[in-house]
Structure 1
Protein backbone atom coordinates (compact mmCIF):
# COMPACT_ATOMS: atom_id res chain seq x y z
CA UNK A 1 0.00 0.00 0.00
CA UNK A 2 1.42 3.38 -1.04
CA UNK A 3 2.29 5.87 1.69
CA UNK A 4 0.14 9.00 1.67
CA UNK A 5 2.91 11.55 2.17
CA UNK A 6 2.33 15.07 3.42
CA UNK A 7 4.25 17.36 1.06
CA UNK A 8 4.88 21.10 1.25
CA UNK A 9 5.23 22.50 -2.28
CA UNK A 10 6.70 25.89 -3.21
CA UNK A 11 4.57 26.12 -6.38
CA UNK A 12 0.92 25.43 -6.98
CA UNK A 13 0.07 22.35 -9.03
CA UNK A 14 -0.64 24.39 -12.17
CA UNK A 15 2.81 26.03 -11.99
CA UNK A 16 4.99 22.92 -11.69
CA UNK A 17 4.90 21.55 -15.24
CA UNK A 18 8.28 21.82 -16.97
CA UNK A 19 10.24 22.94 -13.90
CA UNK A 20 13.17 21.09 -12.31
CA UNK A 21 12.16 19.39 -9.07
CA UNK A 22 14.19 19.47 -5.84
CA UNK A 23 13.02 17.03 -3.16
CA UNK A 24 13.80 18.05 0.43
CA UNK A 25 14.27 15.20 2.92
CA UNK A 26 14.38 16.25 6.57
CA UNK A 27 16.18 14.56 9.44
CA UNK A 28 15.08 12.32 12.30
CA UNK A 29 12.62 14.02 14.63
CA UNK A 30 11.79 16.93 12.31
CA UNK A 31 9.02 17.52 9.76
CA UNK A 32 8.37 18.93 6.30
CA UNK A 33 8.75 22.53 7.52
CA UNK A 34 12.30 22.00 8.75
CA UNK A 35 14.27 22.58 5.53
CA UNK A 36 11.99 25.17 3.91
CA UNK A 37 14.00 27.96 5.54
CA UNK A 38 16.79 27.14 3.08
CA UNK A 39 14.65 27.70 0.00
CA UNK A 40 14.95 31.53 -0.26
CA UNK A 41 18.72 31.05 -0.58
CA UNK A 42 18.47 28.41 -3.31
CA UNK A 43 17.76 28.74 -7.06
CA UNK A 44 14.24 30.02 -7.76
CA UNK A 45 14.01 27.97 -10.97
CA UNK A 46 13.25 24.83 -8.97
CA UNK A 47 9.96 23.60 -7.67
CA UNK A 48 10.77 22.47 -4.13
CA UNK A 49 8.84 19.62 -2.55
CA UNK A 50 9.50 19.08 1.14
CA UNK A 51 8.30 15.62 2.13
CA UNK A 52 7.23 14.65 5.64
CA UNK A 53 8.64 11.32 6.80
CA UNK A 54 5.84 8.79 7.37
CA UNK A 55 6.61 7.51 10.89
CA UNK A 56 5.17 9.75 13.61
CA UNK A 57 7.14 10.24 16.83
CA UNK A 58 4.46 12.51 18.32
CA UNK A 59 4.45 16.27 18.95
CA UNK A 60 5.03 17.14 15.28
CA UNK A 61 8.17 15.01 14.94
CA UNK A 62 8.64 12.34 12.28
CA UNK A 63 11.22 9.83 11.12
CA UNK A 64 11.79 7.87 7.90
CA UNK A 65 12.35 4.65 9.87
CA UNK A 66 12.85 3.73 13.52
CA UNK A 67 16.26 4.69 14.84
CA UNK A 68 18.19 3.93 18.02
CA UNK A 69 19.48 7.47 18.56
CA UNK A 70 22.17 6.45 21.04
CA UNK A 71 23.93 4.17 18.56
CA UNK A 72 22.35 5.37 15.30
CA UNK A 73 21.30 1.74 14.86
CA UNK A 74 18.41 0.83 12.58
CA UNK A 75 16.79 -2.06 10.77
CA UNK A 76 18.07 -2.42 7.22
CA UNK A 77 14.70 -3.88 6.26
CA UNK A 78 12.94 -0.75 7.51
CA UNK A 79 15.44 1.50 5.71
CA UNK A 80 14.91 -0.38 2.45
CA UNK A 81 11.12 -0.14 2.80
CA UNK A 82 11.41 3.62 3.36
CA UNK A 83 13.37 3.93 0.11
CA UNK A 84 10.89 1.83 -1.86
CA UNK A 85 7.93 3.78 -0.48
CA UNK A 86 9.51 7.09 -1.42
CA UNK A 87 10.24 5.78 -4.91
CA UNK A 88 6.50 5.29 -5.43
CA UNK A 89 5.89 8.94 -4.60
CA UNK A 90 8.79 10.23 -6.75
CA UNK A 91 7.58 8.17 -9.70
CA UNK A 92 4.09 9.64 -9.29
CA UNK A 93 5.31 13.25 -9.68
CA UNK A 94 8.56 13.19 -11.68
CA UNK A 95 6.91 13.03 -15.10
CA UNK A 96 5.89 16.68 -15.06
CA UNK A 97 9.41 17.91 -14.19
CA UNK A 98 12.52 18.30 -16.33
CA UNK A 99 14.79 16.71 -13.73
CA UNK A 100 14.90 15.55 -10.11
CA UNK A 101 17.50 16.62 -7.54
CA UNK A 102 17.67 15.45 -3.91
CA UNK A 103 18.56 17.55 -0.85
CA UNK A 104 18.76 15.55 2.38
CA UNK A 105 19.71 16.53 5.93
CA UNK A 106 21.03 13.98 8.48
CA UNK A 107 18.78 10.90 8.17
CA UNK A 108 17.39 12.56 5.05
CA UNK A 109 20.89 12.31 3.56
CA UNK A 110 20.92 8.58 4.37
CA UNK A 111 17.60 8.19 2.57
CA UNK A 112 18.66 10.39 -0.36
CA UNK A 113 21.94 8.57 -0.96
CA UNK A 114 20.07 5.25 -0.78
CA UNK A 115 17.73 6.49 -3.53
CA UNK A 116 20.77 7.36 -5.65
CA UNK A 117 22.16 3.86 -5.17
CA UNK A 118 19.05 2.14 -6.51
CA UNK A 119 18.33 4.23 -9.65
CA UNK A 120 21.12 6.76 -10.26
CA UNK A 121 19.89 7.54 -13.76
CA UNK A 122 16.76 9.16 -12.31
CA UNK A 123 18.61 12.12 -10.77
CA UNK A 124 20.46 15.20 -11.99
CA UNK A 125 22.37 15.93 -8.77
CA UNK A 126 22.15 15.51 -4.98
CA UNK A 127 23.04 17.34 -1.79
CA UNK A 128 23.76 15.79 1.61
CA UNK A 129 24.01 17.92 4.75
CA UNK A 130 25.31 16.77 8.15
CA UNK A 131 24.42 13.17 7.41
CA UNK A 132 25.68 9.78 6.34
CA UNK A 133 25.26 7.02 3.78
CA UNK A 134 23.92 3.58 4.68
CA UNK A 135 26.65 0.95 4.98
CA UNK A 136 25.22 -2.12 3.19
CA UNK A 137 27.43 -4.41 5.27
CA UNK A 138 25.34 -3.48 8.32
CA UNK A 139 22.16 -5.01 6.94
CA UNK A 140 21.16 -8.24 5.26
CA UNK A 141 20.29 -7.83 1.60
CA UNK A 142 21.34 -4.19 1.31
CA UNK A 143 24.50 -4.86 -0.70
CA UNK A 144 22.51 -6.53 -3.46
CA UNK A 145 19.87 -3.79 -3.29
CA UNK A 146 22.34 -0.99 -4.06
CA UNK A 147 23.96 -0.63 -7.49
CA UNK A 148 27.10 1.36 -6.70
CA UNK A 149 28.72 0.32 -9.98
CA UNK A 150 25.95 2.05 -11.92
CA UNK A 151 26.18 5.07 -9.64
CA UNK A 152 29.94 5.32 -10.20
CA UNK A 153 29.42 5.11 -13.96
CA UNK A 154 26.85 7.93 -13.82
CA UNK A 155 29.37 10.36 -12.25
CA UNK A 156 26.51 12.05 -10.42
CA UNK A 157 27.40 15.45 -8.89
CA UNK A 158 27.08 15.33 -5.10
CA UNK A 159 27.60 18.10 -2.54
CA UNK A 160 28.40 17.01 1.02
CA UNK A 161 28.48 19.69 3.70
CA UNK A 162 29.24 19.03 7.36
CA UNK A 163 31.06 20.22 10.46
CA UNK A 164 34.09 18.14 11.35
CA UNK A 165 32.96 18.46 14.98
CA UNK A 166 29.38 17.30 14.31
CA UNK A 167 28.30 15.88 17.68
CA UNK A 168 25.62 13.54 16.28
CA UNK A 169 27.09 11.48 13.42
CA UNK A 170 29.63 8.89 14.67
CA UNK A 171 33.11 8.99 13.12
CA UNK A 172 32.80 5.46 11.76
CA UNK A 173 29.74 6.53 9.72
CA UNK A 174 31.59 9.62 8.49
CA UNK A 175 34.58 7.49 7.47
CA UNK A 176 32.41 5.01 5.58
CA UNK A 177 30.49 7.80 3.85
CA UNK A 178 33.71 9.55 2.82
CA UNK A 179 35.20 6.38 1.31
CA UNK A 180 31.95 5.49 -0.43
CA UNK A 181 31.32 8.99 -1.83
CA UNK A 182 34.87 9.36 -3.14
CA UNK A 183 34.60 6.09 -5.04
CA UNK A 184 31.09 6.46 -6.47
CA UNK A 185 30.20 10.15 -6.87
CA UNK A 186 31.51 13.35 -8.42
CA UNK A 187 32.04 14.71 -4.93
CA UNK A 188 32.20 18.28 -3.67
CA UNK A 189 32.93 18.17 0.07
CA UNK A 190 33.02 21.28 2.26
CA UNK A 191 33.56 21.55 6.03
CA UNK A 192 31.85 24.28 8.07
CA UNK A 193 33.40 25.00 11.47
CA UNK A 194 30.78 25.93 14.03
CA UNK A 195 27.84 24.41 12.17
CA UNK A 196 27.49 21.55 14.65
CA UNK A 197 24.67 19.29 13.51
CA UNK A 198 23.06 22.00 11.44
CA UNK A 199 23.28 24.21 8.35
CA UNK A 200 24.95 27.64 8.24
CA UNK A 201 24.31 30.55 5.80
CA UNK A 202 27.61 30.08 3.96
CA UNK A 203 26.65 26.46 3.33
CA UNK A 204 23.32 27.47 1.79
CA UNK A 205 25.21 29.87 -0.49
CA UNK A 206 27.53 27.07 -1.58
CA UNK A 207 24.59 24.72 -2.20
CA UNK A 208 23.01 27.43 -4.35
CA UNK A 209 26.18 27.68 -6.45
CA UNK A 210 26.47 23.91 -6.70
CA UNK A 211 22.87 23.50 -7.91
CA UNK A 212 23.32 26.24 -10.51
CA UNK A 213 26.50 24.60 -11.82
CA UNK A 214 25.07 21.08 -11.93
CA UNK A 215 21.31 20.60 -11.79
CA UNK A 216 20.45 23.72 -13.80
CA UNK A 217 23.20 23.47 -16.39
CA UNK A 218 21.88 22.12 -19.69
Structure 2
Protein backbone atom coordinates (compact mmCIF):
# COMPACT_ATOMS: atom_id res chain seq x y z
CA UNK A 1 0.00 0.00 0.00
CA UNK A 2 1.46 3.37 -0.94
CA UNK A 3 1.67 6.45 1.22
CA UNK A 4 -0.84 8.28 -0.96
CA UNK A 5 -3.32 5.39 -0.58
CA UNK A 6 -2.89 5.34 3.20
CA UNK A 7 -3.56 9.08 3.42
CA UNK A 8 -6.56 8.77 1.11
CA UNK A 9 -8.10 6.08 3.32
CA UNK A 10 -7.06 7.72 6.56
CA UNK A 11 -9.59 7.77 9.39
CA UNK A 12 -8.13 10.23 11.91
CA UNK A 13 -7.61 8.98 15.46
CA UNK A 14 -7.48 11.82 17.97
CA UNK A 15 -6.95 12.09 21.72
CA UNK A 16 -8.58 15.17 23.26
CA UNK A 17 -7.78 16.99 26.51
CA UNK A 18 -11.35 18.24 26.99
CA UNK A 19 -14.76 16.68 26.57
CA UNK A 20 -16.62 17.79 23.45
CA UNK A 21 -19.04 19.84 25.56
CA UNK A 22 -16.11 21.89 26.96
CA UNK A 23 -14.34 22.74 23.67
CA UNK A 24 -16.56 25.40 22.13
CA UNK A 25 -14.85 28.79 21.88
CA UNK A 26 -11.52 27.58 23.25
CA UNK A 27 -8.20 27.92 21.40
CA UNK A 28 -7.21 24.60 19.81
CA UNK A 29 -3.66 23.24 19.97
CA UNK A 30 -2.97 20.38 17.61
CA UNK A 31 -0.12 18.02 18.57
CA UNK A 32 1.75 16.22 15.78
CA UNK A 33 4.02 13.36 16.88
CA UNK A 34 7.37 12.28 15.49
CA UNK A 35 8.33 9.40 13.20
CA UNK A 36 7.43 5.99 14.61
CA UNK A 37 5.39 7.38 17.52
CA UNK A 38 1.65 7.84 17.99
CA UNK A 39 -0.95 10.21 19.44
CA UNK A 40 -0.09 9.18 23.03
CA UNK A 41 3.57 10.15 22.70
CA UNK A 42 3.20 13.90 23.25
CA UNK A 43 -0.14 13.95 25.01
CA UNK A 44 1.29 14.13 28.54
CA UNK A 45 2.70 17.54 27.59
CA UNK A 46 -0.85 18.90 27.53
CA UNK A 47 -0.75 19.32 31.31
CA UNK A 48 2.22 21.70 30.98
CA UNK A 49 0.40 24.06 28.60
CA UNK A 50 -1.99 26.91 29.44
CA UNK A 51 -5.28 25.45 30.64
CA UNK A 52 -7.26 27.64 28.24
CA UNK A 53 -6.27 25.40 25.33
CA UNK A 54 -8.12 22.37 24.09
CA UNK A 55 -5.36 19.97 23.05
CA UNK A 56 -5.92 17.45 20.26
CA UNK A 57 -3.19 14.87 19.62
CA UNK A 58 -3.48 13.30 16.18
CA UNK A 59 -2.18 9.93 14.93
CA UNK A 60 -0.24 9.89 11.66
CA UNK A 61 -1.63 7.93 8.69
CA UNK A 62 1.29 5.60 7.92
CA UNK A 63 2.01 2.52 10.05
CA UNK A 64 5.75 2.67 10.86
CA UNK A 65 7.54 0.22 13.16
CA UNK A 66 5.96 0.36 16.62
CA UNK A 67 3.98 3.50 15.76
CA UNK A 68 3.07 5.78 12.90
CA UNK A 69 4.51 8.48 10.67
CA UNK A 70 3.26 11.28 8.44
CA UNK A 71 5.37 10.36 5.42
CA UNK A 72 8.53 8.35 4.63
CA UNK A 73 11.90 9.61 5.82
CA UNK A 74 13.91 11.61 3.30
CA UNK A 75 16.47 8.78 3.27
CA UNK A 76 13.75 6.32 2.21
CA UNK A 77 13.53 5.54 -1.52
CA UNK A 78 9.75 6.09 -1.33
CA UNK A 79 10.12 9.67 -0.05
CA UNK A 80 8.79 12.49 -2.21
CA UNK A 81 7.57 16.02 -1.53
CA UNK A 82 4.24 14.74 -2.85
CA UNK A 83 4.02 12.54 0.29
CA UNK A 84 4.37 15.62 2.48
CA UNK A 85 1.74 17.48 0.46
CA UNK A 86 -0.70 14.54 0.67
CA UNK A 87 -0.35 14.28 4.45
CA UNK A 88 -0.69 18.04 4.81
CA UNK A 89 -3.86 18.09 2.74
CA UNK A 90 -5.33 15.23 4.78
CA UNK A 91 -4.66 16.93 8.12
CA UNK A 92 -6.00 20.21 6.76
CA UNK A 93 -9.21 18.49 5.70
CA UNK A 94 -9.64 17.06 9.21
CA UNK A 95 -8.91 20.41 10.83
CA UNK A 96 -11.59 22.01 8.68
CA UNK A 97 -14.16 19.76 10.39
CA UNK A 98 -13.30 21.08 13.88
CA UNK A 99 -11.73 24.54 13.54
CA UNK A 100 -15.12 26.31 13.53
CA UNK A 101 -15.63 25.32 17.18
CA UNK A 102 -12.47 27.11 18.29
CA UNK A 103 -11.26 30.68 18.66
CA UNK A 104 -7.91 29.87 17.01
CA UNK A 105 -5.71 26.95 15.94
CA UNK A 106 -2.08 26.52 17.03
CA UNK A 107 0.24 23.72 15.90
CA UNK A 108 2.83 21.87 17.98
CA UNK A 109 5.05 19.29 16.33
CA UNK A 110 7.99 17.20 17.49
CA UNK A 111 10.66 16.02 15.02
CA UNK A 112 8.80 14.98 11.84
CA UNK A 113 5.74 16.52 13.46
CA UNK A 114 7.45 19.93 13.22
CA UNK A 115 7.75 19.35 9.49
CA UNK A 116 4.01 18.69 9.41
CA UNK A 117 3.23 21.76 11.52
CA UNK A 118 5.25 24.09 9.32
CA UNK A 119 3.86 22.44 6.16
CA UNK A 120 0.31 23.06 7.38
CA UNK A 121 1.16 26.73 7.97
CA UNK A 122 2.78 27.00 4.53
CA UNK A 123 -0.28 25.49 2.87
CA UNK A 124 -2.84 27.72 4.59
CA UNK A 125 -0.86 30.69 6.01
CA UNK A 126 -3.84 32.54 7.46
CA UNK A 127 -5.32 29.62 9.40
CA UNK A 128 -3.00 29.49 12.39
CA UNK A 129 -2.21 31.61 15.45
CA UNK A 130 1.27 30.17 16.09
CA UNK A 131 3.54 27.16 15.51
CA UNK A 132 5.70 25.34 18.06
CA UNK A 133 8.48 23.14 16.65
CA UNK A 134 10.49 20.88 18.94
CA UNK A 135 13.68 19.14 17.74
CA UNK A 136 12.43 19.22 14.18
CA UNK A 137 12.79 20.73 10.75
CA UNK A 138 11.13 22.37 7.75
CA UNK A 139 10.87 20.41 4.50
CA UNK A 140 12.87 21.69 1.54
CA UNK A 141 10.11 21.51 -1.08
CA UNK A 142 11.96 23.28 -3.88
CA UNK A 143 9.76 24.03 -6.89
CA UNK A 144 7.61 20.99 -6.07
CA UNK A 145 5.83 23.05 -3.44
CA UNK A 146 4.70 25.72 -5.89
CA UNK A 147 0.93 26.09 -5.92
CA UNK A 148 0.59 24.20 -2.63
CA UNK A 149 2.88 26.07 -0.24
CA UNK A 150 2.29 29.82 -0.03
CA UNK A 151 5.58 30.85 1.51
CA UNK A 152 5.42 34.49 0.40
CA UNK A 153 2.07 34.94 2.14
CA UNK A 154 3.40 33.24 5.26
CA UNK A 155 6.44 35.52 5.28
CA UNK A 156 4.18 38.56 4.99
CA UNK A 157 2.05 37.35 7.91
CA UNK A 158 5.08 36.89 10.20
CA UNK A 159 3.45 33.98 12.01
CA UNK A 160 4.96 33.48 15.49
CA UNK A 161 7.09 30.32 15.54
CA UNK A 162 8.89 28.77 18.50
CA UNK A 163 11.81 26.48 17.60
CA UNK A 164 13.55 24.61 20.38
CA UNK A 165 16.41 22.17 19.88
CA UNK A 166 19.73 20.87 21.18
CA UNK A 167 22.77 21.58 19.01
CA UNK A 168 23.90 18.03 19.87
CA UNK A 169 20.67 16.49 18.47
CA UNK A 170 21.93 13.28 16.80
CA UNK A 171 18.82 12.68 14.68
CA UNK A 172 18.13 15.74 12.51
CA UNK A 173 20.79 16.07 9.75
CA UNK A 174 22.96 19.21 9.79
CA UNK A 175 21.78 20.26 6.33
CA UNK A 176 18.15 20.08 7.47
CA UNK A 177 18.95 22.22 10.52
CA UNK A 178 20.74 24.79 8.36
CA UNK A 179 17.88 24.97 5.88
CA UNK A 180 15.33 25.26 8.70
CA UNK A 181 17.22 28.06 10.43
CA UNK A 182 17.43 30.09 7.22
CA UNK A 183 13.84 29.42 6.24
CA UNK A 184 12.37 30.30 9.64
CA UNK A 185 14.34 33.55 9.88
CA UNK A 186 12.88 34.72 6.57
CA UNK A 187 9.35 33.31 6.82
CA UNK A 188 8.25 33.75 10.43
CA UNK A 189 8.49 35.78 13.61
CA UNK A 190 10.98 33.37 15.13
CA UNK A 191 11.70 32.57 18.76
CA UNK A 192 14.64 30.15 18.75
CA UNK A 193 16.04 28.63 21.93
CA UNK A 194 18.88 26.14 22.24
CA UNK A 195 19.00 23.59 25.07
CA UNK A 196 21.82 21.45 26.40
CA UNK A 197 21.41 17.80 27.29
CA UNK A 198 18.01 17.10 25.72
CA UNK A 199 19.51 15.55 22.56
CA UNK A 200 16.52 14.56 20.42
CA UNK A 201 14.01 15.17 23.16
CA UNK A 202 12.03 17.63 25.29
CA UNK A 203 12.56 18.78 28.87
CA UNK A 204 10.66 20.74 31.51
CA UNK A 205 12.57 23.96 30.85
CA UNK A 206 11.63 23.88 27.19
CA UNK A 207 7.96 23.27 27.99
CA UNK A 208 8.00 26.20 30.41
CA UNK A 209 9.28 28.35 27.55
CA UNK A 210 6.58 26.95 25.26
CA UNK A 211 3.89 27.80 27.81
CA UNK A 212 5.20 31.37 28.05
CA UNK A 213 5.37 31.65 24.25
CA UNK A 214 1.76 30.48 23.85
CA UNK A 215 0.55 32.80 26.58
CA UNK A 216 2.22 35.80 24.96
CA UNK A 217 1.33 35.05 21.33
CA UNK A 218 -2.03 33.26 21.35
CA UNK A 219 -3.66 34.20 24.66
CA UNK A 220 -2.45 37.79 25.00
CA UNK A 221 -5.64 39.20 23.51
CA distance in 2, matches of 1:6, 1:160: 26
TM superposition shift of 1:97: 0.2
Deviation at 1:15, TM superposition (A): 0.8
Matched, 1:161 2:164: yes
TM-score by length of 1: 0.94
Q: Are residues 1:81 and 2:89 paired?
A: no
CA contact (8 A) 2:32 2:110 kept: yes
Runs of 5+ unmatched residues, structure 2: 1-7
Secondary structure of the residue that 2:126 maps to in structure 1?
helix
Distance 1:144 1:42, change over 3 A: same
C-alpha distance in 2, partners of 1:28/1:58?
A: 9
- Once superposed, which parts of structure 1, at least 4 consecutive aligned residues long, lie more than 2 Å away? 70-74
**Match of residue 97 from structure 1:** 102
In the alignment, which residue of structure 2 is the partner of 1:108? Answer: 113
How many residues align? The count is: 214
The alpha carbon displacement at 1:72 in A equals 10
* 1:67 aligns to 2:73 (yes or no): yes
Change (3 A) 1:161 1:71: farther
Match of residue 210, structure 1, among 208, 213, 219: 213
Alpha-carbon contact 2:36-2:65 (below 8 Å) kept: no
**Equivalence for 1:17:** 24
Unaligned runs of at least 5 residues, structure 1: none
Q: For 1:135-175, what per-residue CA distance to the aligned partner results, in whole angstroms no more than 9, with x for missing partners? A: 012xx621442111100111111000000010000010000
- The question of whether the paired residues in 1 share the 8 Å contact of 2:135 and 2:201 is answered with yes
